[in-house]
Amino acid sequence: MSDNPEISVFNMPPEWAPHARTWMMWPRRGEVWDDIRATQKNYTSVAHEIRDFEPVSMVVHPEDRAQAHSMLGSDIELLEHPIDDSWARDAGPCFLTNEAGERAGVCFEFNAWGQKYTPFDGDNSAAAAILEAAGVPAVHSDLIAEGGGVSVDGEGTILSTESCFPNANRNPDWSRDDIEQELLRKLGAKKLIWLPGNAEETETDGHVDGISVFVGSGAAIIQDPGPSHHHWHDIHAANIEAIEHQTDAQGREIRLFRLPDASEIQVDGADICDSYVNSYICNGAVIMPQYGIRQDGLVREILQEALSGREVISVPIWDIAIGGGGIHCITQQEPLGQRDAIK
């Protein structure tokens, strides 16, 4: 395969397609976390649960290599890169495949969710470093975008939110139509469904992976509005209204599985990720957040129905959630290629 793949023959496979590995990034930006060592322990737990099903590679700042190795052990591969932060879903590449099993990867521009944190140049170059380490050619885009802002079904459909990529803090010179066409071109899709998103969620400006994501052909999970007094009830209701009765690129009406959120864990002044939608599908399993509340069990049952045949594993993530993200935010799947085999 050449270093400049013909992008039109590639598409981003769905998360439930077979993975070669999962990529993660070791926590580093201390200002994000209450206790960064506790956060690193949560990351370690997530990495080891995924490692039971597929290889895991962790990108680490060179200064953190020894510490990361001591906590992760020898079964998690480390890749050194001068990263700034720890959200592999957003700073990592969006991997693509074609019918021949060849792979490519899209490197979107990354500006820390609208320059909310600085510096971010190390994270902006992380996607290219991951692709180089994986031996996968890179395709570059001038669009400022994050992997958490899209969900794909691998059959031509993308979900995204109007509160995110069209935000002036990312792409002030791009129209919504321009953004849509770039996403369709780069990710190999035919239809983009825009949800309103959540402009009140100030960490990511309403990433779709905390609202609604595909979990199968013609199927998606979505955040339920909850009771009328819920602080984001109307926002969640608007997102459901926007996707209800929508058809995907194949003409199928999308079946929705509604998940409650974990809003009862909210702490005044803290921007906590309370979304069970922000779970991660790996080979043979679904890794979901465990908040230690009654909704944990209900969500497990819904995910077992929506993703039948996969083991549903709950992992405590309080010290990740406190930074505004969840399990999906800290992971990025690398699909199997022509010569890959799971080890």
- Which positions are annotated as active-site residues? 329
CA 176 to chain centre: 21
> Which of 279, 320, 273, 291 has the alpha carbon at shortest distance from 86?
320
Q: Is the dihedral angle over the CA atoms 71, 78, 12, 341 positive or is it negative?
A: negative
Q: Which residue's structure tokens are 């995907």? A: 248
H-type alpha helices, the chain: 36-51, 65-72, 88-91, 112-115, 121-124, 126-134, 176-187, 233-243, 295-306, 318-321
What span, in angstroms and rounded, lies between the C-alpha atoms of 216 and 70? 37
**Number of Cβ atoms within 10 Å of the Cβ of 315:** 19
> In the structure encoding, which two tokens stand for residue 275, read together?
């979304």
What span, in angstroms and rounded, lies between the C-alpha atoms of 184 and 37? 39
> Which of 272, 322, 331 has the alpha carbon at shortest distance from 87?
331
> In the structure encoding, which two tokens stand for residue 282, read together?
């790996």
CA 75 to chain centre: 23
What span, in angstroms and rounded, lies between the C-alpha atoms of 238 and 196? 7
List residues bridging with 109 in a β-sheet.
144
Distances in whole angstroms, Cα of residue 8 to Cα of each of 134, 184, 249: 21, 10, 17
Answer yes or no: are the C-beta atoms of 278 and 289 closer than 8 Å: yes
